[in-house]
């Protein structure tokens, strides 16, 4: 009699797979497999009994209470991002290392970060303008954080792929999934860069997008040849370095903007 | 009013925040359990829960009505947990396992009812510790697939959808995870009455 494989027992335990009736019939007739199944059940039941911190019935409401106030801010990011994508921003004037211009950062460095005329000190118009400046700064800061996060996540995926050993197939399915999630955001930023005539930035983002798509669509586990080719492309184009430079520049801008904001508002009051 | 997940998603997509709130209330506990199993750390799990719903809100427009809301949320939670673990320095990851162990032990001590068998309590703590260590030994995908199948009762098909894996790859992740988890708890099997 041919016994059930370990994997068959696992599928039987979870009531999965297409051969449950056959497995059941075998188990009825085979004491050895019944004993193996009992061992498996015993181990997995023990695993199931392990503790997770309790969360009461009201937990969902507590989470919603924490999340809700932030939804408007996230929506604000979406609005700013939409304006960015629609070409709302003025032409950027900053260039990054290696001739890479960062569209998003440039918009803030181009003098649009705070309104030039805000009315006389203490006037109602001045107060309104200061409020508007604060709101803009908040939205812009979130925009920077959002794009910075995208670049950070992209760099992580690239680094994971680059650091795999040469000449070996690898299970990079987690990276593939994340790369797939990053493609749409990358496209949005790239299209905006193209509209703004930022060829250098658009070119880096185009390279990044191509690699992300290639990672996403490769077989899983990724064969050694595919992995080597993608890795070579990342290295040849200096892609990981460029993405990290862009991200660093963006973070620095964000810090500078955060530091400058109170001073600017103070001068206007 | 229709309070099913698809109906709430449709209302949320139309801008109804309260509908999104009902989804948050309904799925928070499950997302927390998964986040805790994936990160091994209570505070990280809380952060993952919050970030999961913020990302879900941002991406609600892309949600396809034929999909399962829980599956979609698990996918986002998996990505958030991945980001949380990557942000945490390696040393801190080890610390968090220790911290999680300490948390578990402390809970066991606090939670025990008077008269509860001390031997059972100790055994339960030891199982929790071994399970946590065992989960720490799994790859990210194995851990996610195992957590969703074993603790949350998701089908292999749904897990594949959540993790972006083919069915065969999902099965193999679960098979490998089961083998490793058995090895983690088997030394205790003889001690169980």
Q: If phi over 0 gives left and psi between -120 and 50 gives alpha, with beta otherwise, what is residue B40?
A: left
Are the beta carbons of A51 and B104 separated by less than 8 Å?
A: yes
Q: If phi over 0 gives left and psi between -120 and 50 gives alpha, with beta otherwise, what is residue A164?
A: beta
Give me the percent of chain B exceeding a pLDDT of 90: 42
pLDDT for residue A10 is more than 90: yes
Mean pLDDT of B112-138: 70
pLDDT band of residue A143 (cuts 50, 70, 90) is low
* CB contact A59 to B (< 8 Å): yes
By Cβ distance, the residue of A11, A53, A74 closest to B54 is A74
Q: Which two tokens stand for residue A180?
A: 């797939």
* Lowest mean pLDDT across A107-111, A126-130, B7-11: A107-111
On average, the pLDDT of chain B sits at: 81
Are the beta carbons of A180 and B164 separated by less than 8 Å?
A: yes
Contacts of B49 in chain A (CB under 8 A): 63
Closest CA relative to residue A84, chosen from A131, A142, A134:
A142
Q: Give residue-wise pLDDT tens across range B151-184.
A: 999 999 999 888 888 889 999 999 999 999 999 9
By Cβ distance, the residue of B20, B83, B107 closest to A153 is B83
For A237, counting Cβ atoms within 10 Å of its Cβ (0-12 exposed, 13-18 middle, 19+ buried), the class is: middle
Kind and range of the H or E element at B85?
A: helix B69-87
Contacts of A146 in chain B (CB under 8 A): none
Strands annotated E in chain B: none
Please state the domain extents for chain A: 6-48, 73-268
Closest CA relative to residue A214, chosen from A191, A237, A192:
A237
Say if CB B112 and CB B67 are below 8 A apart: no
* CB contact A66 to B (< 8 Å): yes
Whole-number Å distance between alpha carbons of B45 and A227: 33
The Cα of B119 is separated from the nearest Cα of chain A by a number of Å equal to 15
Q: Which residue of A has its CA nearest to B80?
A: A178
Give me the percent of chain B exceeding a pLDDT of 70: 78
Mean pLDDT of A246-260: 71
**Residue showing tokens 């009699």:** A1
Q: What is the pLDDT of residue A265?
A: 46
Are the beta carbons of A64 and B28 separated by less than 8 Å?
A: yes
Closest CA relative to residue B160, chosen from A220, A52, A157:
A220
Say if CB B8 and CB B20 are below 8 A apart: yes
Are the beta carbons of B124 and A49 separated by less than 8 Å?
A: yes
Class of domain B5-189: mainly alpha
Whole-number Å distance between alpha carbons of A165 and A183: 25
pLDDT band of residue B130 (cuts 50, 70, 90) is confident
The Cα of B12 is separated from the nearest Cα of chain A by a number of Å equal to 12
Q: What is the pLDDT of residue B149?
A: 94
pLDDT for residue B42 is more than 50: yes
Contacts of A174 in chain B (CB under 8 A): 82, 139-141
For the entire predicted model, the pTM comes to 0.55
Whole-number Å distance between alpha carbons of A103 and A120: 33
| Residues ≥6 apart with Cβ < 8 Å to A3 | A26, A30, A32, A33, A36
């Amino acid at each position: 009699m041919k016994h059930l494989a370990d994997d068959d027992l696992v599928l039987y335990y979870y009531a999965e797979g297409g051969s449950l009736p056959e497995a059941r019939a075998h188990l009825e007739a085979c004491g050895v497999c019944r004993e193996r199944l009992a061992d498996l059940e015993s181990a997995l039941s023990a695993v199931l009994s392990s503790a997770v911190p309790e969360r009461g019935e009201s937990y969902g409401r507590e989470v919603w209470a924490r999340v809700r106030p932030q939804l408007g801010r996230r929506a604000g990011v979406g609005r700013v991002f939409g304006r960015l994508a629609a070409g709302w921003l003025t032409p950027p004037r900053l260039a990054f290392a290696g001739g890479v211009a960062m569209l998003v950062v440039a918009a803030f460095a181009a003098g649009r970060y705070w309104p030039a005329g805000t009315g006389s000190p203490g006037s109602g118009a001045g107060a309104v303008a200061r409020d508007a400046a604060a709101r803009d700064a908040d939205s812009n800061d979130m925009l920077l954080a959002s794009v910075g996060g995208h670049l950070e996540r992209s760099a992580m995926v690239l680094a994971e792929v680059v650091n795999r050993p040469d000449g070996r197939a690898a299970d990079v399915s987690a990276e593939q999934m994340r790369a797939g999630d990053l493609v749409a955001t990358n496209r949005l930023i790239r299209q905006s860069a193209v509209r703004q005539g930022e060829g250098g930035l658009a070119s880096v983002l185009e390279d990044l997008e191509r690699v992300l798509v290639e990672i996403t669509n490769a077989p899983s586990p990724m064969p050694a040849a595919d992995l080597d080719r993608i890795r070579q492309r990342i290295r040849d184009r200096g892609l990981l370095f460029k993405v990290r430079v862009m991200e660093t520049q963006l973070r620095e801008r964000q810090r500078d903007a955060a530091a400058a904001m109170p001073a600017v508002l103070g001068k206007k009051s | 009013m229709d309070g099913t997940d698809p109906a709430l998603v449709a209302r949320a997509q139309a801008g109804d925040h309260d509908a999104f709130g009902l989804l948050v209330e309904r799925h928070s506990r499950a997302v927390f359990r998964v986040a805790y199993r994936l990160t091994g750390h209570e505070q990280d799990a809380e952060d993952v829960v919050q970030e999961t719903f913020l990302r879900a809100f941002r991406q609600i427009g892309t949600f396809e009505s034929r999909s399962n809301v829980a599956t979609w949320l698990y996918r986002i939670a998996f990505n958030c947990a991945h980001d949380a673990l990557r942000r945490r320095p390696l040393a801190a990851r080890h610390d968090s396992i220790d911290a999680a162990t300490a948390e578990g032990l402390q809970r066991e001590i606090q939670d025990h009812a008077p008269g509860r068998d001390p031997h059972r309590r100790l055994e339960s703590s030891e199982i929790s510790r071994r399970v946590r260590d065992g989960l720490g030994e799994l790859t990210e995908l194995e851990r996610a697939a195992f957590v969703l199948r074993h603790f949350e009762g998701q089908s292999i098909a749904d897990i594949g959808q959540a993790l972006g894996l083919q069915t065969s790859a999902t099965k193999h992740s679960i098979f490998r995870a089961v083998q490793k988890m058995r090895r983690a708890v088997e030394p205790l099997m003889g001690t169980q009455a």
